């Protein structure tokens, strides 16, 4: 990783107060485990935003983080020159628009922007967590069916709604990475690893277009800068798979 990471717990009260001033800096409060946080982090690196990351524990979220910065008890959270930005997809878009001309979010094409938003809107993450947390063998097939329903719809969007781009490259818009991948691939990356390990479920098997987009995305230099090794995620999600 080529960006600076500071542990939130090492910050003094004065340090924390200074982060909220108009300091001309970009502070991304995040955690490398979290796929929502990964949306913002990946967008920051792709956009060449001049940020540094402040690591916030999810297992024992500091009270000072909640009371002084993010009352929603979530990561990511962004302070850009003292301005608070909440929620992963909003932060990813903010960073792209401010530091990258909005290229990932198709700022110059309302039609493509709408299609990318459709893909994001039809991505239902609940069944992924449901299968991971499930302890009842009788419910396993139901969760798997729900996951496939979501993936079926995404594959159709890539195949039919974005048909004009299919000969141009693997992403929704051919050779152009978009907000569709920024918002979806971080989940594919984690659940490819952990569902195979804990539930013997191959997430993208039978979805050639989603597989192609995934394989292209994870090879991007910016993506590689924002991830850890598979064992990191296997260990991090163990408490959800085996409570």
Euclidean distance between CA atoms 64 and 10, whole angstroms: 12
CA-nearest of 165, 243, 170 to 212 is 170
5: alpha, beta or left? (left if phi > 0; alpha if psi -120 to 50):
beta
Q: Please write the tens of the pLDDT for every residue from 22-45.
A: 999 999 999 999 999 999 999 999
Order of strands across the sheet that contains 83-86: 5-7, 51-55, 26-30, 77-80, 83-86
pLDDT classification of 1: cutoffs 50, 70, 90: low
Q: Please write the tens of the pLDDT for every residue from 119-158.
A: 999 999 999 999 999 999 999 999 999 999 999 999 999 9
Looking at domain 5-100, its CATH class is alpha beta
Q: Tell me if residue 232 falls in helix, strand or coil.
A: helix
Q: What is the mean pLDDT of residues 212-218?
A: 99
Euclidean distance between CA atoms 120 and 216, whole angstroms: 18
Q: Are 99 and 25 in contact (CB under 8 A)?
A: no
Q: What percent of the chain has pLDDT over 90?
A: 99
C-beta contacts of 218-221 below 8 A and 24+ residues apart: 218/185, 218/189, 220/46, 220/177
Report pLDDT for 153. 99
Report pLDDT for 52. 98
pLDDT classification of 181: cutoffs 50, 70, 90: very high
Q: Please write the tens of the pLDDT for every residue from 53-64.
A: 999 999 999 999
- The topology (CATH level 3) of 110-241 is Glutathione S-transferase Yfyf (Class Pi); Chain A, domain 2 (1.20.1050)
Report pLDDT for 42. 99
- Residue spans of the domains in the chain: they are 5-100, 110-241
Report pLDDT for 59. 94
Q: Is 142 exposed, middle or buried (0-12, 13-18, 19+ CB in 10 A)?
A: middle
């Amino acid at each position: 990783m080529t960006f600076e990471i500071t542990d939130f717990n090492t910050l003094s009260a004065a340090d924390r107060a200074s982060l909220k001033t108009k300091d001309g800096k970009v502070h991304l409060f995040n955690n490398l485990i979290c796929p929502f946080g990964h949306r913002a982090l990946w967008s920051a690196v792709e956009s060449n935003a001049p940020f540094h990351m402040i690591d916030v524990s999810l297992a024992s979220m500091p009270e000072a983080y909640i009371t002084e910065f993010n009352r929603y008890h979530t990561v990511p959270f962004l302070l850009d020159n003292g301005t608070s930005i909440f929620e992963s997809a909003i932060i990813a878009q903010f960073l792209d628009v401010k530091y990258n001309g909005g290229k990932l979010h198709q700022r110059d094409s309302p039609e493509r922007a709408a299609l990318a938003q459709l893909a994001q809107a039809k991505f239902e993450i609940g069944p992924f967590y449901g299968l991971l947390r499930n302890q009842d063998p009788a419910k396993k097939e139901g969760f798997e069916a729900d996951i496939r329903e979501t993936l079926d719809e995404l594959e159709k969007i890539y195949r039919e709604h974005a048909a004009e781009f299919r000969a141009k490259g693997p992403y929704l818009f051919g050779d152009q990475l978009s907000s569709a991948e920024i918002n979806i691939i971080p989940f594919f990356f984690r659940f490819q690893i952990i569902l195979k390990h804990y539930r013997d479920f191959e997430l993208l098997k039978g979805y050639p277009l989603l597989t192609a987009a995934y394989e292209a995305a994870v090879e991007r230099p910016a993506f590689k800068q924002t991830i850890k090794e598979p064992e990191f995620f296997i260990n991090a999600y163990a408490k959800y798979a085996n409570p």
